[in-house]
Amino acid sequence: MIVIDGDISQLSAAQASILGCRLLLLSQGQVWADNARASGTRKKQNMGTSPFRTKRYDVNSTATYLWFSLWVGRKKKKRRCAIIHCDQSSPLLTVSSPNTMSTAKDKQDKFQQRQNSSSYAASSTSFYTEEEKKDSYETLNDVLLMKCKDAKVRTVIRDLMQICADITEALRSALVTVEGSTNDFGDSQLSVDVIADKILWDAVKKSEVIREGSSEEDPIVRNVDEGGEGEFTVCWDPLDGSSIVDNNWAVGTMVGVWPKKTGLIGATGRDQVTSIVALYGPRTTVLVALDDGTYEFTYGCNSDSTNASLEEDWICTRHDIKINPDSKVFSPANLRAAQDLEGYRSLVDYYMENRYTLRYTGGLVPDVYQQFTKKQGVFCNPTSDRSPAKLRLAFEAAPFGLLVEKAGGKTSDAVTGGSILDVQITAVDQRTALCLGSRNEVDRFNGMSNLLFRRLVFNRFTNCGCTFCYLEMLGLSK
């Protein structure tokens, strides 16, 4: 136990945290102290609820020791304490406590090392934002003019951002109820799903640059270009997270945009000219893939006027986001597959044994979006025969894949280990396994699941007439 000689209010937050555990006993109530080197007068100090109040202890030496008789409940305990001198010129001198070989300076060094680590913020399991408030923020239009050369792409991005703003406003007043209908995948449609999907269809039909649209709720590519001047095919999941939206958890919208020259069928995710992912939580934030990287925009934080223009409604809150190659955060989806797949089970065991932080809600948008705010993370969603793929390539995997790779991350199709952006889209409702996030963690997923990939490919194509040729093409036939 350590007592401070000096003005405790001068301690920095870091030093206070170091000493917090040592001063814990002082905060429990009244402390009786005998100063053997002073006059011998017993002093009664009432520390209140917090030991970090301005309090001066006058002692003869920085090596003075005190005996504290502490009442905790009805039990009286004695503690011998070292007094450490504290002043502004030398905030914390190293004086060994008689009860331990560890010094206060050692504790300060360890604490600062954790604080300065790129992997940790306040503790080994908490990751807090490092964003600092700016005096001013660039608007959506400012950033698009600098970071998006194609005028038509700028237009489609503005159209999509307005859609996200409209969905934000609708979600604030809509109740979550069952509509009594299902989509083409057999999922029950909720009121908010229908509202979001309607907003998207109405908007793309009015857009001057969109020629085709397709919704996850109705996976058919439909022509919406009445004027014949449309340029882009847009595919969207109107409101991802139907199973958690009734909990009032964060949900989102995902949109991929393909050019006329490729269309959707036969194209790959790499052919996208842009993609956006909106996250509806306490705030609405949107990730946008621009020419040189991934940017984040926040809705409604720059203007108090309800009649503000689109550019004033959206401000750029993160520029050219980068996902670190290493991570200590993991989001393991489809954990049922770990019962069937030894590689996935071993990977999850590795995360737990190495004390990774679990951050998983069951919603694809918040679970992957955190990689851009925390600048690290890995999302895994392998499949097995008993736990088949649920994610849609065109509506979910490809849009997020483009954002992750533009931010320096990596993706995997979880079958061959290749990029999800290189998988050809052969059907609107095509489903896929997926892994994406920090590069080294995706490599770990690919490496630990190598045998899994081989077995999945073999099982999937065993009954196909061209099995041998397909395996030869993938290099997995040996």
| Angle at which helices 467-474 and 450-461 cross, to 10° | 160
Q: What is the pLDDT of residue 311?
A: 55
User: How large is the average pLDDT for residues 86-90?
Assistant: 36
* φ/ψ of residue 292, rounded to 5: -110, 10
Q: What is the pLDDT of residue 172?
A: 87
Q: How sure is the predictor about 464, in pLDDT bands with cuts at 50, 70 and 90?
A: low
**pLDDT digit string, tens, across residues 377-415:** 999 999 988 999 899 999 999 999 999 999 999 999 998
Q: Which of 8-12, 292-296, 339-343, 390-394 has the lowest mean pLDDT?
A: 8-12
Contact present, 82 and 2 (Cβ < 8 Å): yes
259 pLDDT above the threshold of 80:
yes
Buried b / exposed e across 371-399, counting CB within 10 Å, b at 16+?
bbbbbbbbbbbbbbeebebbbbbbbbbbb
**pLDDT digit string, tens, across residues 25-72:** 233 333 333 333 333 333 344 433 333 333 333 333 333 333 333 333
Read off the amino acid at residue 378. V
Q: How sure is the predictor about 76, in pLDDT bands with cuts at 50, 70 and 90?
A: very low
Strands 218-223 and 65-72: unpaired
Q: Which of 58-62, 163-167, 427-431 has the lowest mean pLDDT?
A: 58-62
Q: What is the pLDDT of residue 177?
A: 73
Buried b / exposed e across 170-186, counting CB within 10 Å, b at 16+?
bbeebeeeeeeeebeee
Q: Which of 31-45, 320-334, 339-353, 416-430 has the lowest mean pLDDT?
A: 31-45
Q: What is the pLDDT of residue 242?
A: 82
| Neighbouring C-alpha atoms within 13 Å toward the C-beta of 247 | 10
pTM of the model: 0.69
* Distances in whole angstroms, Cα of residue 430 to Cα of each of 87, 266, 272, 291, 397: 67, 12, 17, 27, 10
CA dihedral 323, 324, 330, 335 (to 10 degrees): 60
Contact present, 409 and 432 (Cβ < 8 Å): no
210 pLDDT above the threshold of 90:
yes
Contact present, 362 and 270 (Cβ < 8 Å): no
Q: Cα–Cα distance between 457 and 189 in angstroms, integer?
A: 33
User: How large is the average pLDDT for residues 427-449?
Assistant: 94
21 pLDDT above the threshold of 90:
no
User: How large is the average pLDDT for residues 307-328?
Assistant: 85
Mean pLDDT score of the chain: 75
Q: What is the pLDDT of residue 184?
A: 55
Nearest to residue 254, comparing CAs of 286, 206, 296? 286
Which residues fall within 8 angstroms of residue 186, CB to CB, at 6 or more apart? none
Question: How distant is the alpha carbon of residue 143 from its chain centre?
Answer: 23
| Angle at which helices 151-171 and 140-147 cross, to 10° | 150
Contact present, 366 and 317 (Cβ < 8 Å): no
Q: Cα–Cα distance between 313 and 299 in angstroms, integer?
A: 6
Q: How sure is the predictor about 175, in pLDDT bands with cuts at 50, 70 and 90?
A: confident
Helices (H), 360-438: 364-373, 398-406
